[in-house]
Each structure stands twice: as structure tokens, then as C-alpha cells.
A and B are shown apart, each in its own frame.
Chain A
């Protein structure tokens, strides 16, 4: 589904390389987690997949269902079915959640959105993520708490129905109850959409109590240093990232 091959990414208008010959393969229906210390390039990877304006791919390629994404715009990548749940979703004054979601759904599906069906779907989704329906008529993320912003991200993915979900530190700033709600909704989405893949980016293994990964990758200094199963996350929690021995990159991601 997603293949990242020898990817090197730098900050635009600078020579600072963030991702350095990075490789990752995510198959259909697989759940991967990338863990690593601050500033190691995890979020840069997520943003680079979505063609973020701050980053530039200097080498390598990103393929999604065999199609090269490198030169696609952000909206074109999203239309292919990739959804990035952001670490710190922006607040946009004057654009309501309702207008935003309905427009996005129309753009992604390529069809005119039936208002009645949209309202019905969205009312259910609001209940599922335990958000008040009046948020639908408020500006995007404006005045939302940290937890509400994260739930709003999950609500959006339920409406837009992506094929690949990237969660960029969705667990940061979430209390235990909100984390449960978020993870329950992701799990039920994955159950209903078995071919959908999930990439979790996190510092902490606590989210893995609720979302079970097939692969755990440890990332340091711009590429993956070690890959394993859930036991690798437990090892890191106990021993810290410094305990991870750097291995040859060709051993990783398989």
C-alpha cells in the first residue's frame, strides 16, 4: 500500500536534512507504529507524505498503491485516500466544521453531498466520538480543548473514509477516557474497513494498549534503527531510546 524508498527530506530554503535515506513498507490492513525521541523526524515523515509546504524531498520516493506521490499536491494526496490526524490541529476562524466537512467529503468522493445523508452520518459520528453536535456549527477547532481537537480529527476520518490513516501523536494531551474513545473509534473503523492501514507516530507506548500494532519501528536521527513486534515497544519503555542499538538499515522494516 505505502512504500517509502530511500527517502531524504530537507527543510525548504535550508540545507537541514531531517529524513536521511528512510525506508518503510506498509501493507494493506497492517498497523505500524513509529516510535522515537523528540526531533528525530517522525512528524516530518507524516507531513512529507502529505506534501507539506515546509519540506522538500531531495531524494527517494513515496509510492501509494504503486503511484508516486512525490510531485502531487497535498489535496491530491488526500484524495488518494491518505488521512493525517494532526498533532496540533490548527484553528480556523470563520470556517465552520460543517462547511469544512461537507466540502471535504464532496471533494474526496467527487460527488455532490446529499445534505440529509450528511447530517445523518455526522450526527452519529459526533455521538461516537462523544463530541457535542453544536461543534458542527462552530469555526474549525476554535475554542476546542486539546482533547476535543483530537476527537475532531477522528470524526473527520470517520466521515472521509481513508485507506491509510496516519496518527501523528494523537495520544499527546489526551486524558485516559478520551484516549479510549479515540482508540475505540479507530479500532471500529479498522474493523469495518479491513483493508485500511494505520501508521501510528508516538513517543509513548501507552496508546499501544488500545491499538495493537503488527510492527514497531524505532526511529532515530532520520531513519529507522530497529523493527520488531510489540515487545520492542515494551523494551523501549523499560530501557529508553538510548538502549536501541543502531543496526544496518537494510535489516529494518521487513
Chain B
């Protein structure tokens, strides 16, 4: 287990490649955290506790899936005016299971919270993918929304790339990379992950 505390008034940016099976993040008042989690093929759990007022987290997760895996990500809004934005993108390469279970929990006594999540999985073959976006909102004064999509890369996009002479396999790699590398991460810090995409 990996536990990280972001102290009062501190900003933190973390790059993870998921060697642990559980991560816990605790944010104090006015703390902000940005996590880039690029990993492949290893189930894990994440718990994010927004304990102090005005704490905020942006969690950008991308994964390439080759076997059965479940990713469970929970964010707890325990103070006023806390914000969370979770963006989880997965590419399921074969016919295996890829599950995203993503919970946003806003406590009853809090106000002014914002909890958003965007979950997408692309199946390259007949993957058995599942997304469970759970918004457990017990507060009247909060904003919460989610998007969930499971499907394939658009045939029109593949056709466009191929119509310029790009082969199916390279076109798929380009779309995979475009889909997984989102929100402008530092590419030098995710070299291993980029190599994994190239191997597809």
C-alpha cells in the first residue's frame, strides 16, 4: 500500500506506474493534487480523501489491459468546496475483462462540492469491459456528473487514417496513443508506457 499526504496549502503532481495494489491520498485544506497514472495490466484500488476545505484532485488514469483486471477508484468529499475530476481511459486489447468501478462520495454536511468523472474503455477485440460509475451524493448543494463509454475506435477515424496509406495496425496504435495520452502529461516521464503502446 502506498499512502500520500498532501499538506495544507500544498500542490503536488505525481506520476505513477502502479506497482502497488492500493493507493491512498489524503488532502488537507487548500491542497491540490494532480495524479498521472499510466499503467498496464495490474488491478489496484485508489482512495482519495478530500479532508480539508477547498482541497482538489485531478486524477488521470490510463491503462492497457491484457488480462482480467478491475480498477476501483473512490473519492471522498469530506469538506466544503472540495473538487474532484477523475478521467479514466482504458484499452482492452484481447477478449478479457476490464472493469472500472469509480465512486464519488459527497458527505451530507458539505456544501459547494464538485465531483466529475469521465470513464471510457475501447475494446480492440471482443473484450468484456464494464464501467460502474457511482455517484453517492448526500448533499443538496453540490455538482456531480459522469460520462461512461465502452466501444471501439470509430471506423470513420480508422478509414481516414488508412485512406492516407497508414496500415490498420499503425492506425490503431495512433488512435490508442491519442486516447490514452490525455491531459498533456510530461512524455519523458511515461516512456515505458509509450513503449507498451508501440508494442501493440
Residues of A at the B interface (CB closer than 8 Å) are 50, 52-53, 73-75, 78-79, 83-84, 86, 89-90, 92-95, 99-100, 103-104, 107-108, 139-140, 156, 160
Q: How far is the CA of A156 from the CA of B66 in the complex (A)?
A: 35
Whether the pair A139, B164 counts as a contact (CB closer than 8 A) is no
Considering the complex, give the chain B residue whose CB is closest to the CB of A160.
B164
- State which of B157, B165, B182 has its C-beta within 8 Å of the C-beta of A90: B157
Task: Name the distance in Å between B176's Cβ and chain A's nearest Cβ.
Answer: 9
Whether the pair B156, A100 counts as a contact (CB closer than 8 A) is no
**Chain B contacts of A52 at CB under 8 A?**
159
Whether the pair A104, B165 counts as a contact (CB closer than 8 A) is yes
Whether the pair A75, B174 counts as a contact (CB closer than 8 A) is no
Q: Could you give, for residues 144-169 of chain B, a 1 whenever the CB lies within 8 Å of some chain A CB and a 0 otherwise? A: 00000000001111011111111110
Whether the pair A86, B168 counts as a contact (CB closer than 8 A) is no
Whether the pair A104, B164 counts as a contact (CB closer than 8 A) is yes
Task: Name the distance in Å between B26's Cβ and chain A's nearest Cβ.
Answer: 32
Task: Name the distance in Å between B183's Cβ and chain A's nearest Cβ.
Answer: 11
Q: How many residues from B make CB contacts under 8 Å with A?
A: 23
A–B complex contacts, Cβ < 8 Å, 13 sampled: A53-B155, A73-B168, A78-B163, A84-B163, A86-B163, A90-B160, A92-B160, A94-B175, A94-B179, A100-B166, A103-B166, A104-B164, A160-B165
**Chain A contacts of B181 at CB under 8 A?**
94
Task: Name the distance in Å between A206's Cβ and chain B's nearest Cβ.
Answer: 26
Does B177 belong to the interface (CB within 8 Å)? yes
Instruction: State the 9 A-B residue pairs at the shortest beta-carbon distance, nearest first.
Output: A94-B178, A104-B164, A108-B165, A74-B162, A78-B165, A75-B162, A95-B178, A107-B165, A79-B165
**Chain B contacts of A95 at CB under 8 A?**
161, 174-175, 177-178
Task: Name the distance in Å between B158's Cβ and chain A's nearest Cβ.
Answer: 8
Task: Name the distance in Å between A150's Cβ and chain B's nearest Cβ.
Answer: 14
Q: How far is the CA of A34 from the CA of B167 in the complex (A)?
A: 29
